[in-house]
């Protein structure tokens, strides 16, 4: 269920935007050669790739999205109860229409490199260390056996976990602003990923998640 941007959401965005301006002096540039990419085979048919520092000067995009994306608070019904999701969410169903030109550049670089035409994106805003995403596979996994899902991180460093669908040991990546994490192969079917809450303080983080279509 989606609600309109409430005064509560607007107030929490204002408080984040008012954080001290830590904009890096670096202009935003993507590493089109993916030179720092490190791929891990999760099993014979699934993989995850971490590209540290893929977007140089990522603070500019972080700030722009914080201020201009259509953030909203979503709710979920589970067992007849209404749960407030522990994050804010925003979507650009058609990347071509997103008002931030850098998102177009990023999508084009990802499409070129991974051979997938990324046309849609959704974003999560983790306001503090208490915001999170629970274990899940993305909806594309219900439609395609194999997929390539890039997630661009902006802002604070958080842990990104992935573990087999049946449970067990998870692989943990420490993901910083400007890093790219890409899940490939059958990872949306056979694996589950999450961004857990943490006890140590963390500032705001935005994840930008790309897909070829809106699932």
Ligand X SMILES: O=C(O)CCC(=O)C(=O)O
Query: Which is nearer to ligand X, 85 or 108 (by Cβ)?
Result: 85
Query: Which is nearer to ligand X, 60 or 193 (by Cβ)?
Result: 193
Query: Which is nearer to ligand X, 104 or 136 (by Cβ)?
Result: 136
Query: Which is nearer to ligand X, 16 or 151 (by Cβ)?
Result: 151
Give the footprint of ligand X on this chain (CB under 6 A).
124, 133, 138, 151, 160, 193, 195, 207, 209
Name every residue whose Cβ is closer than 8 Å to that of residue 101 and which is 6 or more positions away in sequence. none
Q: How far is the CB of 159 from ligand X (least distance, A)?
A: 10
Question: Shortest Cβ contact with ligand X: which residue?
Answer: 207
Q: How far is the CB of 31 from ligand X (least distance, A)?
A: 19
Query: Which is nearer to ligand X, 80 or 146 (by Cβ)?
Result: 146
Q: How far is the CB of 134 from ligand X (least distance, A)?
A: 9
Q: How far is the CB of 25 from ligand X (least distance, A)?
A: 26
Q: At what angle do helices 7-17 and 58-68 cross, to 10 degrees?
A: 150
Q: How far is the CB of 20 from ligand X (least distance, A)?
A: 24
């Amino acid at each position: 269920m989606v609600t309109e941007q409430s005064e509560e959401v607007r107030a929490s965005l204002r408080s984040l935007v008012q954080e001290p301006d830590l904009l890096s002096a670096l202009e935003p540039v993507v590493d089109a050669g993916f030179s720092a990419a490190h791929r891990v085979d999760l099993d014979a048919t699934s993989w995850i790739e971490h590209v540290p520092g893929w977007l140089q000067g990522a603070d500019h995009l972080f700030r722009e999205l914080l201020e201009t994306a259509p953030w909203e608070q979503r709710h979920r019904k589970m067992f007849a109860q209404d749960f407030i999701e522990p994050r804010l969410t925003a979507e650009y169903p058609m990347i071509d229409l997103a008002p931030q030109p850098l998102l177009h550049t990023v999508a084009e670089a990802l499409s070129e490199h991974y051979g997938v035409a990324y046309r849609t994106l959704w974003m999560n805003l983790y306001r503090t260390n208490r915001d999170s995403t629970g274990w899940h596979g993305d909806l594309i996994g219900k439609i395609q056996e194999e997929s390539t899902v890039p997630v661009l991180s902006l802002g604070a460093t958080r842990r990104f976990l992935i573990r087999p669908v049946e449970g067990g040991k998870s692989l943990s990546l420490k993901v910083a602003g400007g890093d790219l994490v890409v899940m490939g192969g059958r990872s949306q079917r056979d694996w589950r990923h999450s961004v857990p809450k943490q006890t140590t303080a963390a500032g705001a983080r935005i994840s930008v998640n790309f897909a070829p279509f809106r699932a």
